[in-house]
Amino acid sequence: MKFGFIGSGNMGSAMIGGIIGAELAAAEEIIVSDINPRGLEDIRSKYGVAVTEHNKEAADADVLLLCVKPNVIYSVIDEIKDFVTYDTVVVSIAAGQSLKKLEAAFEREVKLVRVMPNTPALVGAGMSAIAKNANVSDKEIKYIEKVFNSFGIAKAVDEKLMDAVTAVSGSSPAYVFMLIEAMADGAVMNGMPRDMAYTFAAQAVLGSAKMVLETGKHPGILKDMVCSPGGTTIEAVSVLEEMGFRSAIIEAVNACAEKSAQLGMD
């Protein structure tokens, strides 16, 4: 299986590492293009893949991954559309860009997959949502899921959920990083060294997330398990409720989803 990548940034690098690590392709079966020569050299040195500054060379692939931002994806498509065959599965990770808009940019029938990954893919713990157009077979989409499972978890979703996906997993690492930073700040106020505070806060978040995923219990039940009557935790939870913690998160997720929808209309 031959893979082409257009874009050699953090997400592209995470994908390449996952693909090679899962033995879905050898390094010599991957070609990466980018306008940044230094970035290409870093990718070549790290993984041993072929690199080029010409996007049309990367477009000659069985699976072509467009790892570029929404503001440049259509110029990239315009450049490569005549070099992409019908047999190529084109995968876009551009936020807010619908399958319909991407199809229109190619100006012909193509096999298109839209994916919303997130930055924890950089440490093999990504969460990716996948939606396909009608030209992509069930066998092909299963393979694309396998690709994204190589650096985390991938789930097929209805495309209408993509704005919600962007808000709850695509952008949410930023919310979690803010939470970890704030928790650490509180610990520092109480005398804990900062490096230690980050470790304690981050591990607590990691372990809590793992409990949700592995126990199958409702987050509210898990929260109640920590809150002893008249104890320290319920005191903290009371303050969070008073300060609007829960509603602030809901409003942030909603605002993010609305922005994602807006990007799709621009």
Q: Is the pLDDT of residue 253 over 80?
A: yes
86: domain range?
3-162
242/152 same-domain check: no
Q: Considering the chain, what percentage of its residues have pLDDT values greater than 70?
A: 100
18/150 same-domain check: yes
110/149 same-domain check: yes
Look at residue 216 in the predicted model and tell me its pLDDT: 96
* CATH code at position 256: 1.10.3730.10
Section 18-34 average pLDDT: 95
Q: Which residues of 55-71 are buried (b: 16+ CB within 10 A; e: fewer)?
A: bbbbbebbbbbbbbebe
Q: What's the total number of domains in the chain? A: 2
Contact in structure between 180 and 202 (CB atoms under 8 Å): yes
Instruction: Note the pLDDT tens digit of each residue in 172-198.
Output: 999 999 999 999 999 999 999 999 999
Report yes or no on whether pTM surpasses 0.95.
Answer: no
132/185 same-domain check: no
227/182 same-domain check: yes
15/127 same-domain check: yes
- What burial class does residue 134 get, using C-beta atoms within 10 Å of its C-beta: 0-12 exposed, 13-18 middle, 19+ buried? exposed
Q: Is the pLDDT of residue 266 over 80?
A: no
Give the closest residue to 149 by CA, choosing from 8, 47, 14, 9.
Answer: 14
118/186 same-domain check: no
SS3 per residue for the chain? CCEEEECCCHHHHHHHHHHHHCCCCCHHHEEEECCCHHHHHHHHHHHCCEEECCHHHHCCCCEEEECCCCCCHHHHHHHHHHHCCCCCEEEECCCCCCHHHHHHHHCCCCEEEEEECCHHHHHCCEEEEEEECCCCCHHHHHHHHHHHHCCEEEEECCHHHHHHHHHHHHCHHHHHHHHHHHHHHHHHHCCCCHHHHHHHHHHHHHHHHHHHHHHCCCHHHHHHHHCCCCCHHHHHHHHHHHCCHHHHHHHHHHHHHHHHHHHHHC
158/202 same-domain check: no
Q: Bigger pLDDT: 250 or 96?
A: 250
The residues with which 65 forms a beta bridge, in sequence order, are 5, 91
Look at residues 119, 145, 162 and tell me which one is the last residue of a structural domain: 162
Instruction: Note the pLDDT tens digit of each residue in 188-236.
Output: 999 999 999 999 999 999 999 999 999 999 999 999 999 999 999 999 9
153/177 same-domain check: no
155/246 same-domain check: no
Look at residue 31 in the predicted model and tell me its pLDDT: 97
Section 142-160 average pLDDT: 95
Instruction: Note the pLDDT tens digit of each residue in 53-92.
Output: 999 999 999 999 999 998 899 999 999 999 999 999 999 9
Look at residues 132, 162, 192 and tell me which one is the last residue of a structural domain: 162
112/215 same-domain check: no
Look at residues 97, 132, 162 and tell me which one is the last residue of a structural domain: 162
**Band of the pLDDT at 9, cuts 50, 70, 90?**
confident
Q: What average pLDDT does the structure give for the chain?
A: 95
138/179 same-domain check: no
* CATH code at position 117: 3.40.50.720
Look at residue 129 in the predicted model and tell me its pLDDT: 97
